[in-house]
């Protein structure tokens, strides 16, 4: 119920105004968002990579309904990638791209071409792109674009959300050699007909999907902060004799940073999902919906106690 309410609030202008004007919201935003500018993101990337972590950067600004806005988002990504390339960070930092930010909401062909431009910029910078998965209604469209882009850019990453009932099927289809696949639980709302609504069922689906990916020939990117799932992932890597450089853990900026460093110190590949930009509100609300601990931190901040 609480998760559903937060997801609904992520699309509410009224709730957005309350959150944005609350006196201590900035404390929470700074915990989960790297800042508003490319310079802010570059500073955070320098720090994290200096600590032995990998990074994926997401410029916030999804669900675009305007061609001009989509073009502006593409330009930002190109600028960001040029910055990464110039700094020699291509081997340590990639970008995550939401197709709804570059036109998918109103024109799939436009989104395809815009994503292609971002992929070309990433190649020039010596890095890669992962296409984020969003609402369940966009899954087929997103996978079509992934498969098409992989004709020219085979390192384009795909995302599978374990809360969707077809997740295991999608993992099986994507677990081929050279295929980079991020597995996450999913942070969007979906009807029971297409998604698991019980947290335990989502966790079970995540484990089934991990087994498919870890036995496959691709490169699994396991996005979870759950200690139990991290332990299972480690056990699967031993069982299937996977070297540390054949898969990675992914975690969100601001969530369990000590665990990120612990895993990296043990030799694991750990990538931090770093979001930045002015359109932070929907992203923040999904982060709060994902973990009760995040919401408790937010409430304490609003009360002025953190």
Active site residues: 132, 182
Taking every pair of Cα atoms in the chain, the longest distance, rounded to a whole number of angstroms, is: 52
List the structure tokens of 213.
Answer: 């990916």
φ, ψ (nearest 5 deg) of residue 249:
-95, 145
Angle at 286 between CA 25 and CA 121, to 5 degrees: 100
């Amino acid at each position: 119920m609480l998760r559903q309410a937060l997801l609904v609030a992520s699309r509410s202008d009224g709730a957005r105004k309350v959150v944005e004007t609350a006196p201590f919201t900035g404390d929470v935003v700074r915990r989960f968002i790297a800042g508003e500018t490319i310079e802010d993101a570059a500073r955070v990337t320098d720090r994290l990579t200096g600590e032995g972590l990998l990074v994926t950067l997401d410029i916030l600004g999804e669900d675009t309904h305007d061609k001009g806005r989509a073009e502006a988002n593409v330009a930002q990504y190109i600028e960001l990638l040029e910055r990464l390339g110039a700094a020699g960070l291509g081997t340590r930092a990639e970008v995550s791209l939401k197709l709804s930010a570059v036109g998918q909401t109103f024109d799939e062909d436009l989104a395809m071409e815009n994503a292609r431009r971002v992929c070309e910029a990433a190649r020039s910078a010596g890095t890669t792109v992962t296409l984020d998965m969003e609402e369940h209604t966009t899954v087929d469209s997103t996978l079509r674009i992934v498969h098409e882009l992989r004709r020219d850019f085979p390192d384009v990453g795909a995302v599978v959300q374990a809360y969707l009932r077809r997740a295991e099927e999608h993992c099986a289809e994507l677990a081929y050699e050279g295929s980079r696949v991020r597995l996450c639980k999913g942070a969007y709302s979906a009807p029971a007909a297409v998604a698991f609504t019980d947290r335990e069922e989502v966790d079970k689906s995540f484990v089934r999907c991990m087994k498919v990916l870890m036995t496959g020939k691709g490169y699994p990117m396991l996005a979870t902060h759950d200690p139990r799932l991290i332990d299972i992932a480690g056990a699967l890597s031993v069982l299937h004799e996977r070297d540390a450089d054949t898969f990675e853990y992914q975690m969100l900026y601001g969530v369990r940073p000590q665990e990120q460093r612990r895993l990296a110190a043990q030799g694991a590949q750990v990538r931090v999902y770093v979001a930045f930009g002015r359109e932070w509100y929907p992203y923040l609300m999904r982060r709060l919906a994902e973990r009760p601990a995040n919401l408790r931190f937010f409430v304490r901040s609003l009360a002025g106690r953190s």
